[in-house]
Structure formats: structure tokens, C-alpha cells
Amino acid sequence: DRAEARALRTVFGEALAGIPLASLKALVGNCGAGAGAVDIIIAACALYEQRLPAIINCDNPIDGLRAGSAPSREATLKHVLCYSCGVGGQNAALVLGRV
């Protein structure tokens, strides 16, 4: 988690404090090789519905990240970044945009 937080800070800098994050594994489980596909489906639904998914079981988020437990909530979303890290090194990132 801390390595991911460092990477996000490197990419987004100070703007990261204003970017909502959603950690989905506690909500949907780890689907192994299918986890990336599940993340993309949830991201597409979030864009379509203009709603962030709930975040559960995250009572101690890493400092500076907006990733603590929260109910599903409305949001104005133009783009969503999905990144997935697999145990065997299968890593991918995809940006979805609203048209």
C-alpha cells in the first residue's frame, strides 16, 4: 500500500489530496487474474452513474490519501484511472473517460 501511495504522489503531486480513491478488494474480494476486469467494470459503472463505489474496512488510510471508509456517493467524474497489480507481476493501468 505504501509503495502504491508513493507512486500516486509521484504522478499527481499535491493534487492527490483532492482526488478520491476507491479500494475495491475489501468490497469484492481478490479475483486473481480477473481482478483487473472487475476493476474496469466498476470504473465504467462509476463513470456512467457518476457515483463513487463504497469503501469498506479502511479505518486507517495512509496519510494524505482520500481512501478511508466511506459510503457510495455522488461525484462528478470525467476520467477514472484503474490500475491493477497481480501477484505474478501482471500489472496494468487504464484511464477511462466519459464521452
pLDDT tens readout for residues 37-86: 888 999 999 999 999 988 787 777 676 666 667 788 899 999 999 888 77
- pLDDT band of 32, cuts 50, 70, 90: confident
Range from 18-22, 26-30, 31-35, 82-86 that averages highest in pLDDT: 18-22
Q: What is the pLDDT of residue 78?
A: 94
Quick check: pTM over 0.85?
no
Please enumerate, as own/partner, the contacts of 25-31 that have beta carbons within 8 Å and a separation of 24 or more.
26/55, 26/56, 26/57, 26/58, 27/53, 27/54, 27/55, 27/56
Q: What is the pLDDT of residue 96?
A: 95
